[in-house]
Amino acid sequence: MKMKSLIMLAAAALMTVSCGSGKAKKATAQDVAEQSRVEATTTLDVDALLADAENLAGKQVNFEGICTHICKHGGRKIFLMGSDDSKTIRVEAGKLGAFDQKCVNSVVKVIGTLCEERIDEAYLQRWEAQVAAQTAEQHGNGEAGCDTEKKARGEVGNTVAERIANFRAKIAARNAAEGKAYLSFYFVEAQAYEVLE
């Protein structure tokens, strides 16, 4: 008796599904707008943001991560970490002015524009000229630079000359492997942020 009821129930469900499956639903402008709104409000983690950075560059992104560092030069930059410290992204305050010190060691949600910074030979030559003219912007401790930013970019070297040489080696390797004579680093210009924890 139970088996017969299950078969009848399954047949009724199959008929219900098959009746509606022959009709193709066209996407309306409202459906597309709703999908765009959902995508715009989806909050990514840092890992997902970095994994899809090439496709998201120039677009508004919503993401969150743990703030590991705030720039000591006026709090204009913070660094958000993903699943580990090799997955870190720089966030610049821009028009917001500065970030609150409460960000450090907290989960911070950011809405902003993902920007690509390309380091190529011309960039490195400008950097060398600025160092020679002593006009290069200083971050961190001396010419070694900011340890947090260096880690976010996978940068090594304790002097400007070592850092530039390391970039040149990485550019050459990428050019040989991919035909791209530059390195891409991504950062976010914040439009809004919120300290969650």
Residue 175 has pLDDT above 50, yes or no: yes
153 CB-near residues (< 8 Å, 6+ apart): 185
Distance of alpha carbon 150 from alpha carbon 140, whole angstroms: 10
pTM of the entire predicted model? 0.70
78 by Cβ neighbours in 10 Å (0-12 / 13-18 / 19+) ranks as buried
CA-closest candidate to residue 89, choices 153, 172, 23, 38? 153
182 CB-near residues (< 8 Å, 6+ apart): 118, 119, 120, 171, 174
Range with the largest mean pLDDT of 3-7, 61-65, 157-161: 61-65
Query: What CATH number belongs to 31-195?
Result: 2.40.50.140
pLDDT of residue 104: 94
CA-closest candidate to residue 73, choices 139, 154, 168? 139
pLDDT of residue 139: 54
The residue ranges of every structural domain in the chain are 31-195
- Judge contact between 69 and 106, C-beta under 8 A: no
**pLDDT, tens digit (0-9, with 9 covering 90-100), for 82-112:** 999 889 999 999 999 999 999 999 999 999 9
**pLDDT, tens digit (0-9, with 9 covering 90-100), for 130-166:** 888 876 565 545 555 577 777 777 777 778 889 899 9
- Judge contact between 165 and 172, C-beta under 8 A: no
Distance of alpha carbon 185 from alpha carbon 145, whole angstroms: 16
Residue type, 130: Q
Task: Please give the mean pLDDT across all residues of the chain.
Answer: 79
pLDDT greater at residue 63 or residue 6? 63
- Judge contact between 109 and 188, C-beta under 8 A: no
Residue 12 has pLDDT above 50, yes or no: no
**pLDDT, tens digit (0-9, with 9 covering 90-100), for 18-31:** 333 344 444 555 54
DSSP secondary-structure letter at 102?
G
Q: Is 183 helix (H, G, I), strand (E, B) or coil?
A: strand
56 CB-near residues (< 8 Å, 6+ apart): 49, 114
Task: Give the pairing type, strands 44-45 and 60-70.
Answer: parallel
Residue 2 has pLDDT above 50, yes or no: no
